[in-house]
């Protein structure tokens, strides 16, 4: 077979282009890897941005409890496909990340003007309602346990606490320059999209809703404030969505870090009345 100079030149040019493309691809991969922070770096940066790092040892789980209050709107989907909108008044949420436990105390005002106070509690693998905080507990369905517990990890400090406690279950990626952190909590992936200050802007998870079925539950957090002026930040605006539909809009009026919030079980509450 005869090989002329023209063929050699063409082959050489093709090899040069291939080598150039390969080099550019490797550089692109390396650049992407360099831009994706490690799990430890992301956890520390987010914990610092939220104000959960404390002490000489720089513990990232210094906030065990929190409480926030506010007003807004609350929307509930019906079996007929229609949504009912309520005015949300005097809502107070207390959370313990260590137990974990949550109490949601709120007053809903319906379209007809009627008021209803709801006190919903979950602790560990149990859930119940109360007439007033700590008064007259009544059991609820097992399905309520998971639904209420999800609200714990949906909060900014909840998702970072879960990630700090389970770093081996955390994955970090970047998308269009935004850092995305995913942590598996009780077998359920919870994803936090961080803002430019390394604080959760959106936290989302797939849930099983009694009316909507399997649906994406997301929480949007904006206007973070250093409430106690102790470098502890919490959003002043909260929006929850189910399948893209707004279910909660809250303007936060008060926030407390590590307050004294307790969640006695119904048995303990019953004994206290004897």
Domain residue ranges in the chain:
5-35, 44-272
Q: Are 27 and 35 in contact (CB under 8 A)?
A: no
Q: Are 37 and 198 in contact (CB under 8 A)?
A: no
This prediction's pTM: 0.84
Q: Are 119 and 129 in contact (CB under 8 A)?
A: yes
CATH topology for 44-272 is outer membrane lipoprotein receptor (LolB), chain A (2.50.20)
Label residues 160-194 b or e (16+ Cβ within 10 Å = b).
bbbbbeeeebbebeeeeeebbbbbebeeeebbbbb
Averaged pLDDT of the chain: 88
Structure tokens at 169: 């279950």
Structure tokens at 106: 């709120």
Region 17-45: mean pLDDT is 66
- What gap in Å lies between CA 128 and CA 102, rounded to an integer? 11
The most distant pair of C-alpha atoms in the chain lies apart, rounded to whole Å, by 106
- What gap in Å lies between CA 123 and CA 101, rounded to an integer? 4
Lowest-confidence pick of 116-130, 197-211, 257-271: 257-271
- What gap in Å lies between CA 63 and CA 130, rounded to an integer? 26
Region 123-151: mean pLDDT is 94
Using the 8-state DSSP alphabet, how is residue 145 labeled? Answer: H
Instruction: State the sign of the Cα–Cα–Cα–Cα dihedral 166, 171, 175, 179.
Output: positive
CA–CA–CA angle 248, 194, 43 (5° rounding): 120
Residue 179 pLDDT more than 70?
A: yes
pLDDT at residue 18 in the model: 54
Lowest-confidence pick of 2-6, 68-72, 122-126, 252-256: 2-6
Q: How far is CA 227 from the centre of its chain?
A: 19
pLDDT at residue 11 in the model: 47
DSSP letters spanning 1-55: ----HHHHHHHHHHHHHHHHHHHHHHHHHHHHHHHS--HHHHHHHHHHHHT--BT
The 10s digit of each residue's pLDDT in 82-105 is: 999 999 999 999 999 999 999 999
Q: Are 105 and 131 in contact (CB under 8 A)?
A: no
Query: What are the residues facing 39 on neighbouring strands?
Result: none
Kindly report the backbone phi and psi dihedral angles of residue 228, in degrees, each rounded to the nearest multiple of 5, phi listed first. -85, 5
Query: What are the residues facing 89 on neighbouring strands?
Result: 107
- What gap in Å lies between CA 4 and CA 237, rounded to an integer? 73
């Amino acid at each position: 077979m005869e090989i002329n100079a023209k063929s050699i030149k063409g082959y050489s040019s093709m090899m040069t282009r291939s080598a150039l493309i390969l080099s550019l691809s490797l550089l692109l991969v390396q650049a992407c890897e360099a831009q994706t922070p490690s799990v430890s770096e992301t956890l520390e940066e987010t914990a610092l941005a939220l104000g959960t790092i404390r002490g000489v040892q720089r513990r990232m789980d210094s906030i065990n409890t929190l409480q926030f209050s506010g007003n807004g709107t609350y929307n509930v989907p019906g079996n007929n496909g229609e949504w009912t909108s309520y005015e949300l008044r005097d809502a107070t949420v207390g959370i313990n990340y260590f137990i974990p436990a949550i109490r949601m105390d709120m007053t809903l005002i319906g379209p007809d003007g009627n008021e209803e106070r709801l006190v919903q509690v979950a602790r560990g693998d149990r859930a119940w309602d109360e007439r007033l905080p700590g008064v007259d507990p009544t059991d609820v369905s097992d399905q309520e346990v998971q639904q209420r517990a999800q609200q714990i990890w949906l909060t900014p400090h909840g998702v970072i606490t879960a990630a700090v406690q389970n770093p081996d279950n955390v994955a970090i990626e970047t998308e269009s320059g935004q850092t995305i952190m995913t942590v598996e909590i009780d077998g359920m992936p919870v994803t936090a999209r961080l803002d430019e200050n390394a604080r959760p802007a959106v936290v989302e998870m797939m849930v099983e809703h009694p009316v909507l079925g399997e649906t994406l539950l997301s929480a949007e957090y904006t206007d973070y404030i250093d409430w106690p002026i102790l470098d502890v930040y919490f959003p002043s605006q909260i929006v929850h969505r189910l399948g893209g539909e707004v279910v909660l809009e809250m303007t936060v009026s008060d926030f407390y870090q590590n307050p004294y919030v307790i969640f006695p079980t119904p048995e303990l509450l019953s004994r206290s009345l004897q």
